[in-house]
Chains A and B, each alone.
Chain A
């Protein structure tokens, strides 16, 4: 644990030294969220929820702001997780060579990412609550935190598997966009609430956000699924990191 905290402190110092962090973690989500509110047409819409009996009627602007806050954080967290993990790839390889375990470096990167992202989460939560006036602001906040956790871990995972910046960035952006703006979003229309979309990373956080914003309370069962998703992704990351470290060590020791 001490090693994790020590590495986290070093990673954080390095992160805060970069001016691009301000844009990546604060301005980007604000721009995405504000423009969803500013651009969307004021049309009435009715939609269903996965865990609630009643239909919800609302303005398209409110629905778009609520789902847009999750999209903004998913894109920010995903891209941020990917780019920073990718930048720290060589450093973590060296740290593992001098004796740090892949689990320790993995947790340290993840912790430093989450500390940095907490600033964007606070700002996004504030703006989303201001623009959409949800019935249950805490529920919307939880949904934003959940989607950030899931996407930062997905960004981390993609960076370990696909180290190329262009492809990784595009994959994460397109996946986050398709997931939260098209397939799991009531504004997407066509396949919303189809059973296979329940397995997408953004489905349950969107449901938590919609339940909290339009019904006033998000059910506990809705919140459990994204947490399970997050824990499974972290386990997968640790597994892949360990496998990668083992193959590097085996390569360095001549394949024995």
Chain B
């Protein structure tokens, strides 16, 4: 653990020195949320969740979705860029005696921790402008979305050799998933079974169950979301182990 924390300190010093982090973690999520709020139509929307018909104003539903999109975009791009920039350091750290698991955990804890700022900002904004049944549940949903996409960003940075390609992949996945497929009103695929496999699906379920009264507790989906993240972390470690073996 001591090695991991010293590694986090070393990597984090360089990362946190960048002033442009304020733009990524605070300004951009707020911009997206404010736009979502002002552009919400006055109409009501209806959708089914947990076999309950939910009738809501557009603003509440849109803000819930935009909160997820903001957190996911920031998490995926910042983790991908961070990991890609530190790619040349990983083989050196391995040669210095760091285990692959230690390096992966250090990356994940650092990126996940920094992305919590964006989650906090998003959560504060959303809870201050709309009524949320369970604010803690909303926070948990946003945290899981952020962690899952941070892990995906790290995996993609390991798998791709081109920064352009990796950024496009991670952004396309994040945007398709949160802005198109997971919209319970505008997407005709929302109730398809395969949508359960999409990375932000369980987090969105937690978010919507916390925002609306669906009769089902949000915590009942926690095992699935934890399993999803665990599989991603295992995949990340295995990819890195494989690369280290080649080295």
Contacts and interface: CB of A to CB of B under 8 A. Distances in A.
B180 interface: yes
B77 A171 contact: no
Interface string A15-31: 00011100110001001
Interface string B19-58: 0100110001001100110111111000000000000001
B176 A31 contact: yes
A89 B42 CA distance: 46
B165 interface: yes
Interface stretch (A94-102, A105-113, A131-139, A160-168): A160-168
Contact of A39 (B78, B81, B187): B187
A43 B179 CA distance: 18
Interface residues of B, number: 41
B9 interface: no
Interface stretch (A118-126, A183-191, A206-214, A234-242): A183-191
B189 interface: yes
B164 A18 contact: yes
B186 A183 contact: no
Contacts of A165: 81, 163, 167
A87 B164 CA distance: 10
Given A28-B168, A79-B167, A83-B164, A166 B186 contact: no
A42 B187 CA distance: 9
Given A170-B24, A170-B74, A173-B73, A79 B168 contact: yes
A125 B99 CA distance: 50
Contacts, number: 110
B164 A24 contact: yes
Given A165-B163, A167-B24, 12 more contacts: A24-B165, A31-B176, A32-B176, A60-B186, A166-B77, A169-B77, A170-B24, A174-B73, A177-B32, A177-B179, A178-B32, A190-B41
Interface of A: 18-20, 23-24, 28, 31-32, 35-36, 38-43, 60, 64, 79, 83, 87, 162, 164-167, 169-171, 173-174, 177-178, 181-183, 187-192
A-B residue pairs, 9 tightest by C-beta:
A189-B41, A20-B165, A20-B162, A166-B81, A190-B39, A41-B188, A178-B35, A39-B180, A167-B20
Interface of B: 18, 20, 23-24, 28, 31-32, 35-36, 38-43, 58, 73-74, 77-78, 81, 162-165, 167-169, 171-172, 175-176, 179-181, 183, 185-189
